[in-house]
Amino acid sequence: MKIHGISIIITLAIAVSCSGDGIPVYKDASAPVGRRVDDLLGRMTLEEKVGQMNQFVGLEHIRRNEASLSEDDLRNNTANAFYPGFNADSVAEWTKEGLVGSFLHVLTVEEANYLQSLAMQSRLQIPVIFGIDAVHGNANAPDNTVYPTNIGLACSFDTGLAYRIARETAAEMRAMNMHWTFNPNVEVARDPRWGRVGETFGEDPYLVSRMGEATVKGYQGDLSSDDVLACIKHFVGGGQPANGTNGSPADLSERTVREVFFPPFEAGVKAGAMSLMTAHNELNGIPCHSNGWLMEDVARGEWGFKGFVVSDWMDIEHLHDLHATAENLKEAFFQSIMAGMDMHMHGVYWNEYVCELVREGRIPERRIDESVRRILEMKFRLGLFEQPYADEKTTMDVRLCDAHRQTALEAARKSIVLLKNDGLLPLSPEKYRRVLVTGINADDHNILGDWSADQKPENVVTILEGLRMVSPGTDFVFVDQGWDPRNMSEANVEKAAAQARRCDLNIVVAGEYMYRGRWNERTSGEDTDRSDIALVGLQDELIRKVAASGKPTVLVLVSGRPLGTEWAAEHLPVLVNAWEPGMYGGQAVAEILYGKVNPSAKLAVTIPRSAGQVQMIYNHKPSQYFHPYVLTESTPLYPFGHGLSYNTYEYSGLSVDRTEIPADGTLKLTVKVTNKGSMDGEEIVQLYVRDRFSQVTRPVKELKDFARVALKPGETRTVEFTVTPDKLRFLDRNLEPVVEPGEFILMAGPSSDDRDLLKTSVHVIE
């Protein structure tokens, strides 16, 4: 990683490439970005260019992990890193030499500013860009607002809320000198065993696309000094892994890839996303990190993607040591760059080997220039050359401010799904004076979800705390089950069962464990995949023994994936899916249980009864259940789009303004929704479409639109949807988009369940 001498030609170029007042053009904020990029690129050595394409973990991250991890620990670790043979001082020196383009895992504004000060000592003073996994707020760093994770946010079906959360996250990131979030994850999640379901917006391409594009626009704004780069990830197919495990092969037809997995990425590109991350997995035998069809032909060629492509954690290296498509690291770097990769996450050998590849003539320097140009453009557009630092004195004026906290609470309220209610809710404090609260997630910060750092206790409301806050006159009897579902105590289960008999009502808060601080003990989250979706450990036994008290029992689930809780769904009066509700999740759960808030969320993913039903999705093909399962049900535990309210909403009067349209025509569909309940509420009205007969098989229904509708008691509103050609279009036998003549069934209602849907049909004519 040595800097070679600068040629006389480059020195002369620097002397003449200045603005009128002697300032280099690239430092002139008034100059057009393209001209600034050209000027700076012309001044850079090969080593400096290749350095811009390389990212490192932060210095504190290195120091912490080199003290606690061995080299063997690094082999399968995708959360922590250090660099054997090098140390934090080495990386600091490379930064001062202008050989580092980006950092990740920098978690404080102080460290970010320090690293930027090192970059300002380099010859050309090119600022580094800081990336961070700000997946639901900048939660991976302490002292930031923690919103619900994406799967819960998707259950709100509220794109405006998604946009607002992204805007607020961008503000908190910039207050920490962070510029680039590795979000939104727009993979389509079609296997609940996969630990990363909670990072996604669910199983439906349309919903994922809508939530993803709103999030991209929220982060990026107009790409100025107030904004951050969005990163649409992981491209592509990781949401349907071969065995449910993160990074395992995706063997998918091109039809499935184009119809199911591509649309959210294309929507993200059209929304302006300026970075894209390739997936851990191979797709049909070609690792995504060396897949030129994905990066160049599709993303850049078909969709017009203008940003830069970044690798995931050491995945270029995995071309050599895992996928075995490259004989060594140098060959892996060659394959990835020539396939379209722009930035490497992360490691020490990149600079050396890539420079060798250029000098050997295997990689043209103009190919390096393409990548560096894309990266530099983003640094200029984000204002990093003019504003490389954040103000440490005012950082907390933005982070955790009152407005952001209120949004986190609103998002939690809108993300919690009431799955079942046999009339027990909302709870009456007068009727249920003594209430048992137990379960692994009853009083734990695990409600923050995956991709969350430790947060101060005063900034988190657990479910037990929320219950005591919302119903202060109730005697809540807490029986601690510990945080670890794998090592629950039979004695504590029996203690809870005994207390249940002495209480008026029981609340069991079960689910999964996602806290990243205990990486090896988690049961859900990144790289935490399961062969089953049942409750782990003694949790099911706890539920059954508490319910055996004969007292009404409420089950609240905190999890990043759908859980198969069939016994509870059949035997308990109330089942609530809180997902990973964030810093105010406990308050929101309590408000819903006690009727302070009317639940409105709907499932963004189907909940199977067991892993044996996988794949269980609502938009399946007609033949999927032609032969039903023997001995067990073929229906899901809860369908996509399902979610209850304390009101009953009546749907009526489904109509269309025309029953025949040409292939390029549009129509209006209207449906009336009436609040038959006694509370103000919001209903999520869903529009589904089915092509009745087609040249290739089509799903039994596909979500094509939705609307959140606020209704007062007794109020009726007419909801209107516009059915445009893109809502009827599909790929024909040759994978060409077409709207076929024939009958289309249009369905509107509160969920994807046929029993909930009103139906009509229209005909596309020649």
Structure token digits, residue 324: 């075995």
Nearest to 151 by CA among 178, 103, 188, 113: 188
What does the alpha-carbon distance between residue 104 and residue 150 come to, in Å, rounded to a whole number?
21
Asked whether residue 518 falls in the same domain as residue 434, the answer is: yes
8 A C-beta contact, residue 597 and residue 584: no
Nearest to 307 by CA among 343, 268, 274: 274
For tokens 């399946």, the residue is: 620
Domain boundary among 572, 593, 625: 625
H, E, C per residue of 210-263 = HHHHHHHHHHHCCCCCCCCECCEEEECCCCCCCCCCCCCCECCCHHHHHHHHHH
pLDDT at residue 15 in the model: 40
Mean pLDDT, all residues of the chain: 96
Asked whether residue 569 falls in the same domain as residue 618, the answer is: yes
Assess if residue 115 is contained within a domain.
no
Query: In this structure, is the dihedral angle defined by the CA atoms of residues 259, 264, 270 and 275, taken in order, positive or negative?
Result: negative
- Please give the share of the chain, as a percent, with pLDDT higher than 70: 97
Nearest to 610 by CA among 701, 697, 540: 540
pLDDT at residue 73 in the model: 79
Which residues on neighbouring strands pair with residue 554, listed in sequence order?
507, 574
What does the alpha-carbon distance between residue 246 and residue 238 come to, in Å, rounded to a whole number?
7
Q: Give the N- to C-terminal CA distance of the chain in Å, as an integer.
A: 65
8 A C-beta contact, residue 227 and residue 178: no
pLDDT at residue 19 in the model: 64
Asked whether residue 700 falls in the same domain as residue 617, the answer is: no
Asked whether residue 558 falls in the same domain as residue 411, the answer is: yes
pLDDT at residue 17 in the model: 64
637 pLDDT tier (thresholds 50, 70, 90): very high
Which residues on neighbouring strands pair with residue 682, listed in sequence order?
710
pLDDT at residue 14 in the model: 40
**Whole-Å CA distances, 97 to 53, 255, 306, 607:** 14, 48, 29, 53
Residues near 519 by beta carbon (within 8 Å), at least 6 away in sequence: 79, 80
335 pLDDT tier (thresholds 50, 70, 90): very high
pLDDT at residue 4 in the model: 39
Kindly tell me if the per-residue pLDDT of 734 is higher than 50: yes
* Cis peptide bond upstream of 234, omega within 30: yes
Nearest to 686 by CA among 734, 752, 634: 752
Assess if residue 161 is contained within a domain.
no
pLDDT at residue 425 in the model: 98
Domain boundary among 569, 590, 625: 625
CATH number of the domain encompassing residue 492: 3.40.50.1700
Asked whether residue 671 falls in the same domain as residue 751, the answer is: yes
What does the alpha-carbon distance between residue 541 and residue 433 come to, in Å, rounded to a whole number?
25
pLDDT, tens only, 183-199: 999 999 999 999 999 99
pLDDT at residue 16 in the model: 41
8 A C-beta contact, residue 185 and residue 219: no
Asked whether residue 413 falls in the same domain as residue 471, the answer is: yes
**Average pLDDT, stretch 202-209?**
98
Burial class (CB in 10 A: 0-12, 13-18, 19+), 71: exposed
Residues near 44 by beta carbon (within 8 Å), at least 6 away in sequence: 52, 124, 372
Indicate the residue type of 687: L
CA angle in degrees (0–180, nearest 5) for 461-463-469? 65
Per DSSP, the residues of 102-148 read: EEES---HHHHHHHHHHHTTSSS-PPPEEEE--SSSSTTSSSS--PP
8 A C-beta contact, residue 436 and residue 492: no
CATH number of the domain encompassing residue 682: 2.60.40.10
Assess if residue 264 is contained within a domain.
no
pLDDT at residue 568 in the model: 98
Max CA distance (Å), the chain: 87
Assess if residue 382 is contained within a domain.
no
8 A C-beta contact, residue 140 and residue 172: no
**Average pLDDT, stretch 207-224?**
97
310 pLDDT tier (thresholds 50, 70, 90): very high
**Whole-Å CA distances, 572 to 506, 548, 562, 592:** 11, 10, 18, 17
Assess if residue 721 is contained within a domain.
yes
How far out from the chain centre does Cα 277 lie? 13
CA angle in degrees (0–180, nearest 5) for 182-186-188? 140
pLDDT at residue 20 in the model: 63
How far out from the chain centre does Cα 622 lie? 30
Kindly tell me if the per-residue pLDDT of 383 is higher than 60: yes
Assess if residue 354 is contained within a domain.
no
Asked whether residue 506 falls in the same domain as residue 556, the answer is: yes
Domain, as residue range, for 681: 649-765
For tokens 């990093």, the residue is: 384
pLDDT at residue 10 in the model: 35
Query: In this structure, is the dihedral angle defined by the CA atoms of residues 495, 499, 501 and 505, taken in order, positive or negative?
Result: negative
| DSSP letter (8 states) at residue 674 | E
Residue 255: how many other CB atoms lie within 10 Å: 14
pLDDT, tens only, 120-130: 999 999 999 99
Asked whether residue 620 falls in the same domain as residue 661, the answer is: no
8 A C-beta contact, residue 747 and residue 758: yes
How far out from the chain centre does Cα 388 lie? 28
What does the alpha-carbon distance between residue 647 and residue 684 come to, in Å, rounded to a whole number?
13
Characterize the bridge pairing of strands 681-691 and 667-675.
unpaired
Asked whether residue 608 falls in the same domain as residue 657, the answer is: no
**Whole-Å CA distances, 659 to 552, 743, 759:** 50, 10, 13
**Whole-Å CA distances, 130 to 60, 216, 610:** 14, 18, 41
What does the alpha-carbon distance between residue 118 and residue 487 come to, in Å, rounded to a whole number?
46
Q: In total, how many domains does the chain have?
A: 2
Which residues on neighbouring strands pair with residue 655, listed in sequence order?
670
Kindly tell me if the per-residue pLDDT of 524 is higher than 70: yes
Assess if residue 577 is contained within a domain.
yes
pLDDT at residue 12 in the model: 35
pLDDT, tens only, 560-596: 999 999 999 999 999 999 999 999 999 999 999 999 9
Domain boundary among 625, 640, 663: 625
Q: Count of alpha carbons within 13 Å of 504, Cβ hemisphere only?
A: 13
Q: What is the CA radius of gyration of the chain?
A: 27
* Cis peptide bond upstream of 558, omega within 30: no
**Whole-Å CA distances, 656 to 15, 670, 761, 765:** 69, 6, 9, 16
pLDDT at residue 9 in the model: 34
Kindly tell me if the per-residue pLDDT of 21 is higher than 90: no
Asked whether residue 587 falls in the same domain as residue 683, the answer is: no
- Please give the share of the chain, as a percent, with pLDDT higher than 90: 94
Asked whether residue 620 falls in the same domain as residue 677, the answer is: no
Kindly tell me if the per-residue pLDDT of 615 is higher than 80: yes
Query: In this structure, is the dihedral angle defined by the CA atoms of residues 353, 359, 360 and 362, taken in order, positive or negative?
Result: positive
Kindly tell me if the per-residue pLDDT of 486 is higher than 90: yes
Assess if residue 671 is contained within a domain.
yes
8 A C-beta contact, residue 588 and residue 447: no
Name the phi and psi angles at 517, rounded to 5: -65, -20
Kindly tell me if the per-residue pLDDT of 397 is higher than 80: yes
pLDDT at residue 212 in the model: 98
Burial class (CB in 10 A: 0-12, 13-18, 19+), 639: buried
Kindly tell me if the per-residue pLDDT of 180 is higher than 90: yes
* Cis peptide bond upstream of 84, omega within 30: no
pLDDT, tens only, 123-157: 999 999 999 999 999 999 999 999 999 999 999 99
Per DSSP, the residues of 400-448 read: T-HHHHHHHHHHHHHH-EEEEESS-PSP-TTT--EEEEESTTTT-GGGG
pLDDT at residue 428 in the model: 97
Residue 59: how many other CB atoms lie within 10 Å: 22
Torsion angle (degrees, nearest 10) of CA 13, 14, 20, 22:
-150
Asked whether residue 612 falls in the same domain as residue 658, the answer is: no
